[in-house]
Amino acid sequence: MSATSAVQCQALRTCLAAIVVTALSACASSIQIQQPAADSVITVPSTPAATRVVVTGNDRYTGLRVTVDGTDVSNQMVYQGAGSNRDEGNLTLPLGRHTVVARAEVPCWYCQGQTWTSTDTKSFCLVPAGAAGLTKTAFAQADNSSWSSTGGANASYAPDAATNATRWRMTPAATGIGVNVGVIESVEFPCKCLRSPDDNNNSVIALALCDRTDQRQQWRGIRRQTTVGKGVYSFESVASNSFGCLTEQVGGTQVIQRACDITNVTPAQLWTVRNNTTNAFETDSNPWGQ
């Protein structure tokens, strides 16, 4: 066989393999988590809350296994009867972010007697109804502007108008991380938290579905100085290799991250924090105090 023929044969085998893979994915049945929807925020009247999970298939399936945050809850799913291709369950879950994974064996439409494993994953968040709780507002030392969640995708800054757009829940992160580390959740968009997107200077801070185990959502709040009975804080990303600080964007309207100068933090990186229940400003060594 010539070199040219060998290359042509290899190309043909590659093409045939791609066709087979495409056919398998197109011809196999599948399951999906119909409820809850991906990245949904579900308001519940109390906690722990009963959350409905619905799994459906476009054909029959067997061996359904459902986990929530890694815990097997398959025995709480109820098959809805012959021909329904549907399982439902009311799962008792705490407030916060959860991930549900469903896995089952489904038939292949063109290869009689064979099955394939189909999986689906959805993340969602449970928030309490009508419970604003303790909120705080941050003010930039540079111009007294506040973090704003307007739009729900990124953090911007704007004058405080005493609305939920500039109010945040600031709570300590998981036990063992350190007392000066916390997460910052939007009041306007419950279960969305400030998140460092990467390790680069000037990246715009995102609003992402809250996950307290995600180090990119963890901020190290450090008091840099005290002035007129107010603590003045910087907020450093725990995950960022450059220790990016929450910073006002020069000439813009976004909250960005820039490298922190620990000996001379700029006014654009310094913030006072007001407790909106008492209207008093935080003065402790970190801003998370209740």
pLDDT over 90 at 81, yes or no: no
Pick from 70-79, 131-140, 263-272: least confident: 131-140
Tens-digit pLDDT profile for residues 96-125: 889 999 999 998 876 667 888 999 999 998
Within its chain, how far is the Cα of 8 from the centroid? 47
The pLDDT confidence band at residue 126, using thresholds 50, 70 and 90, is: confident
What is the arithmetic mean of pLDDT over 85-92?
A: 94
Q: What percent of the chain has pLDDT over 70?
A: 83
Residue 19's pLDDT is what?
A: 38
Pick from 166-170, 227-231, 234-238, 257-261: least confident: 257-261
β-strands 230-237, 96-107 pairing = unpaired
Q: Which residues contact 275 (CB under 8 A, 6 or more apart)?
A: 134, 136, 281, 282
Tens-digit pLDDT profile for residues 255-274: 999 998 767 778 999 999 99
The closest of 34, 23, 93 to 58, measured between CA atoms, is: 34
Residue 27's pLDDT is what?
A: 52
What are the Cα distances from residue 53, in Å, to 35, 37, 136, 151? 5, 10, 34, 29
| Exposure letters 61-70 (e unless 16+ CB within 10 A, then b) | beebebebee
pTM value > 0.85: no
Q: Which residues contact 105 (CB under 8 A, 6 or more apart)?
A: 61, 62, 63, 115, 116, 117, 118
Residue 188 CB-half CA count within 13 A:
19
Residue 240's pLDDT is what?
A: 79
Mean pLDDT of the chain: 84
CA pseudo-torsion sign 249, 252, 253, 254? negative
